[in-house]
Amino acid sequence: MDTSKEVSQTLQLLKGKHILITGTTGFVGKVMLEKIMRTVPDIGGVYLLIRGTKKHANAGSRFANEIATSSVFEFLKLNAPDYFNDFCHKKIHCISGEITEHQFGIPRIEFHELAGKIDAIVNCAASVNFREELDRALSINTHSLNNIVALSDLAGNIPVIQVSTCYVNGFNQGHIHETVTVPARADIPRHKEGYFEVGNLIEELELKIAQIRQQYEGKPLKQQLIDLGIREANACGWNDTYTFTKWLGEQLLLKSLRGYSLTLLRPSIVESTLREPSPGWIEGVKVADAILLAYAKEKVSFFPGKRSGVIDVIPADLVSNSILLSLAEQFKYPGRHHIYQCCSGSANPLTLGKFIDHLMAEAKENYRSYDKLFLRQPRKPFIAVDKRIFAAVTLCLSLVLNAVSHTLVKLGFKRGLKARRNLDAAMTLSAIFSFYTEPNYIFHNNKLLDLAKRMGKKDQELFPVNSAAIDWEIYLRKIHMAGLNGYALNGHMHTPYKPQRKTIVAAAHKQAA
C-alpha cells in the first residue's frame, strides 16, 4: 500500500503543542528530544525541567553543555545545523528546577506561568539505581509525582505521560499484560477503580526511615537506608527499591488523575537504538551491558541465569516512539487512562541463551573491532548457571580465597588478590542483576501494538514500536556491541554546540520527510 500521500496523525496532533519534559539529561529523554527535533518541526515548544549542578548552576547552562552537545544530535548537526541551532534558540525553553521540591522549587508565580504555557507533561525523570537509599528513591520516583499532578491540574488537567518500567511486575510470574500490577506478596487495599491505596504503606516507610535516621549518620546511615529499601521491596513483592518505588508512583498517579488524561508507558530493559538517530547510539552502561563488560574485562565467566528464560530487551528509539504515539493519542482522546508496555518478550522473544551466544560469537570472531570493550580474545566461555549452583560455588570459592589470598599476596602472588576482586564483582553483579537474568515472566504489549495500528500506516513508518522488526543476531552483534564500543565506552558523547540565530525553515521540513 502506498503511504506517501498519507498524513501522520501524530505530527498533526503535536503541531503547535507545548510539551514539558523532565529527565532529558538521561538516556531515554535525550533520544526522545532528538526525535522531536528531527521529526516534529511544527511543535509549538519544548520546555525542559533541568536541575542545576555545581558545574552548571542553571538549566540553560546545563542544556548547552550536557544535552545540546550530546552525540545523539550528530545527525541533525551534520545535515541541518542551522535548523538545529534555530530550534534550540526558539523552541527549547529551559527551566531551572528540582522535580522533588514543592512546585519544582521555582517561585509560585513562575509555576503558575509555566502551567499557562504547556499542553502536556512527559515525565522521564527517575532514580534508576536499583540499590538506592529508600528515602531518596521515594522522593524521586514517588513523592515527586505530586508536583506533576499539581502542574497538570493547574494547567487544566493536561495529559501526563509517565515513563515507568515493565518491572513494576515485581515477583509476579507468567504472562504480564498492560494492566495495573497486583503486589506479589503484600496485602494492600485496592480501590474499586483498580489502583491500590498506598498512602498508609508510604507513611509506614517514612516512619521506618525516620527511625533509622535517629540511630545512624554518615556512611552507616546510607547503607542502612539502602538495606531498608531492599527489605521493604522484597517483603512487598519487588526485587529492588527502584521497581518498588516506581510502582508506588504509578498508584499515586492513577488515584490523583482519576478521570483525567494519563498514560503509564512501561519499557523493559532499554538498550542502544535500533535505527534512529543512528544505529547503536547509547549513553552509559545498562543492565545487560554491566555483565557483558565484566566478562569482557575477564572479571566474570559464569553468572546466575536461565538460558531458556526470555530476557526482555528493547531499543531506545522504540521507547521514544511509544512515548510520542501515546502523547498524540491523549490529545486525540483526552480524559482516559492507558497502560502500555514497550517490550519484546511476546512479539519477538530473545532468550538469555541466544543473547549470550550472539555476544560470545561476535567476541570470538571480531574482538579486535571492539578495542574499548575487550582486552583480548576471550579465553573462557560465558556460562549461565542455576542461581543455587552459583551461590554454592561462590560461597566455596569465597571461603577458599579468604583462607589463602592473604598468604598468596604475602608471598608475592597477586593473582590471589585479583581472584578475590573478581569474585566480589561477580557476587555484586549477581545481587543486583540476577533477577533480570532468571526471568519467570513474559511481557506483552498488545495494547501498544493496537495503538500503533490505530494511528495509521504513516505513523507506523515514522514512529515504529513493533519489536518484531528486530533481527537479534544483527542487532546484538553488529549494532549494540558497536554502539557500546563507539559511544558508551569511547567517550564519544559530546560534540560542540554553538548557538546560532539564523532560521532555515526548509531544513525542518526536510528532517520530518
This prediction's pTM: 0.90
What is the largest distance, in Å, between two alpha-carbon atoms of the chain?
77
Strand partners, 269: 313
Residue of 397, 359, 352 whose CA lies nearest to 381: 359
Q: Which residues pair with 160 in a beta bridge?
A: 121, 262
Tell me how far apart the alpha carbons of residues 443 and 434 are, in angstroms, rounded to a whole number. Answer: 18
The amino acid that residue 200 corresponds to is: N
Closest CA to 85 of 510, 435, 497: 497
Alpha carbon distance 127, 325 (integer Å): 24
Rounded Cα distance, 229 and 209, in Å = 9
pLDDT tens per residue across all 513 residues of the chain: 455 578 899 999 999 999 999 999 999 999 999 999 999 999 999 999 999 998 998 999 999 999 999 999 999 999 999 999 999 999 999 999 999 999 999 999 999 999 999 999 999 999 888 889 999 999 999 999 999 999 999 999 999 999 999 999 999 999 999 999 999 999 999 999 999 999 999 999 999 999 999 999 999 999 999 999 999 999 999 999 999 999 999 999 999 999 999 999 999 999 999 999 999 999 987 777 877 887 787 777 777 888 899 999 999 999 999 999 999 999 999 999 999 999 999 999 999 899 989 988 998 899 999 998 888 888 888 887 777 776 776 667 666 656 665 565 555 555 555 665 666 666 666 677 778 888 899 999 999 999 999 999 999 999 999 999 999 999 999 999 999 999 988 765 444 434 443 332 333 333 333
Tell me if 307 sits within 8 A of 22, measured CB to CB.
no
Instruction: Say which residue the cell 501526563 belongs to.
Output: 160
Q: Which of 357, 424, 354, 362 is nearest to 394 (CA)?
A: 424
22, containing H or E segment: strand 18-22
**Which segments of 68-124 does DSSP mark as H helices, in order?**
74-79, 81-90, 108-115
Helix (H) or strand (E) holding 314: strand 313-315
CB 291, CB 303: distance < 8 Å: yes
Q: Give the integer Cα–Cα distance in Å for 176 and 164.
A: 15
Strand pairing report for 120-123 and 269-271: unpaired
Query: How far is residue 13 CA from its own chain's centroid?
Result: 26
Nearest CA among 250, 7, 22 for reference residue 118: 22
Q: DSSP assignment, residue 246?
A: H
d(CA 382, CA 354): 12
- The residue with cell 516512619 is 207
- Domains in the chain with CATH codes: 9-512 (3.40.50.720)
Q: Which three cell numbers stand for residue 136?
A: 531518596
Contact 330, 261 (CB under 8 A): yes
Between CA 170 and CA 457 the distance in angstroms is: 35
Contact (Cβ atoms closer than 8 angstroms) between residue 123 and residue 75 = no
Residue 203's CB is within 10 A of a number of other CB atoms, namely 10
Q: Is 360 helix (H, G, I), strand (E, B) or coil?
A: helix
Helix locations, 438-488, DSSP H: 446-455, 457-462, 472-474, 481-483
3-class DSSP state for residue 333? coil
Opening angle at CA 220, ends 217 and 224, nearest 5: 100
Q: Is 253 helix (H, G, I), strand (E, B) or coil?
A: helix
